[in-house]
Amino acid sequence: MSPARYTGTAIALHWLAALLILGNVAFGLYMVDLPLSPSKLRYYSWHKWVGVTVFLLSAARLLWRLSHRAPALPASMPPWQHKAASLSHGLLYVLFFAAPLSGWLFSSAAGFPTVYLGLVQLPDLLAKNRELADVLKVVHRGVTWSLAGLAILHAAAAIKHHVVDRDDVLHRMLPFIKPGT
Amino acid sequence: MRIAVLATLSVAAVLLAAPSLAQAPQKVALDKSQIRFGFKQMNVPVEGRFRKFDATVSFDPKKPEATKAEFEVEIGSIDLGNSDGETEAKRKAWLNVDAFPKAKFTAASVKAIGPGRYEATGPLTIKGVTQSVTAPFTFVEAGGLRTVEGSFGLRRLPFRIGEGPWADTDTVADDVSVRFKFVIPSPQ
């Protein structure tokens, strides 16, 4: 028997991750076009700190997901939507890790180690390499755009469930919103 | 008899020539030598190096005080591993390469501080500003090559490296560490 909605922990982690991921994508897009200045260096560091936080948060969420049963999807959903939902959730998880990881690798290749919160230096998984940095920059951008795009699709689907299908899909993650009737 | 005189003369010539050869200034082997530097921005360690420099060294480990050594670094050859940083570093606020293409160090005095260890002191000029620096170094001679390795610290602000908003040391620290390795052929 699966639960009717996600636990408080899962809900809190979900919305925190949503805020940090979308915020960091927007912040990343803003900061890259700034002329080089002390502020820009600060922003890059902050962007990386949020990225590391997203990585850790995603690891916590993955552990939660592996140790808990997710609420069942409405029986009224056609099978292709079940498949699409599980595929997009799986892909979202891949991107939760791929986005910060590609940023970390890009940063290492560009010669800037990541020092989380200015305190903990992460190991560089790659040596400084100009050509590789150019490639990883494009990879990081592609991965984060994919993540943002999929997150928007994910939100659009949830709203469609609430407004069009009038089922309890949105309610499972936003308990104060009553399921459509 | 004539042969003996010639032999004596040539031995004498070699003996006379030897000390001057030992004192002859040597050029460093660029491909084996390095000038690297490191600093922190937002507590993130950043490393760089200069690809081109020139050094003329006349050094006798037994008479370090007689050392004559001059080093010239081509600032435009800065390598930070990323072109955005390099473009910025060459600008006026940082190293102002157009106006000050070279940094110079002259070892004005060298003294022994231990077995195989020495200390060089002299004027270092970067961006038109001269400051005295002291750099301890080790000296190893093997396989016809002399290797000098050492490091010293400097502060960037007295050299006006990073002016205006970049003078803020909360973002880019004031302290810069410089590490060097020079490989010089042993005098014949």
pLDDT at B18: 45
Range name among A42-56, B58-72, B89-103 with the lowest pLDDT average: B58-72
Give the one of A38, A41, A133 whose C-beta lies nearest to B82's C-beta.
A133
Q: Where are the domains of chain A?
A: 8-173
What is the SS3 assignment for B24-62? CCEECCHHHCEEEEEEEECCEEEEEEECCEEEEEECCCC
pLDDT at B15: 46
Contact at 8 Å (CB) between B172 and A41? yes
- What is the residue whose two structure tokens read 């400097």? B154
pLDDT at B30: 86
pLDDT at B26: 78
Give the domains, in start order, of chain B with CATH numbers. 25-185 (2.40.128.110)
% of chain B with per-residue pLDDT over 90: 75
pLDDT at B19: 44
Chain A: give the shortest CA distance to residue B124, in Å: 27
Confidence bin at A175 (pLDDT 50/70/90): confident
pLDDT at B16: 46
Nearest residue of B to residue A40, measured between CA atoms: B171
- Chain A residues with CB under 8 Å of B81 CB are 110-111, 128-130, 133
**ipTM for the whole complex:** 0.81
- Mean of all residue pLDDT scores within chain A: 93
Query: In the predicted model, what is the mean pLDDT of residues B45-59?
Result: 93
Contact at 8 Å (CB) between B50 and B79? yes
Is the model more confident about A139 or about A179? Answer: A139
Please give the C-alpha separations between residue B137 and each of B10, B34, B76, B106, B112, in angstroms, as whole numbers: 38, 14, 26, 15, 10
**What pLDDT, in 10s, does the model give residues A74-117?**
888 999 999 999 999 999 999 999 999 999 999 999 999 999 99
pLDDT at B17: 45
* Distance in angstroms (rounded) separating the CA atoms of residues A155 and A160: 9
Q: Which of B73, B39, B11, B64 is nearest to B161 (CA)?
A: B39
Angle between helices A8-32 and A130-160 (to 10 degrees): 130
- Residue A51's φ and ψ, nearest 5 degrees, are -60, -45
CB contact under 8 Å between B81 and A37, yes or no, is: no
pTM attached to this predicted model: 0.86
Give the one of B43, B81, B84 whose C-beta lies nearest to A118's C-beta.
B43
- Residue A2's φ and ψ, nearest 5 degrees, are -90, 150
Angle of CA points A150, A153, A156, to nearest 5°:
155
- Chain A residues with CB under 8 Å of B47 CB are 111, 128
Please give the C-alpha separations between residue B107 and each of B61, B112, B139, in angstroms, as whole numbers: 14, 13, 15
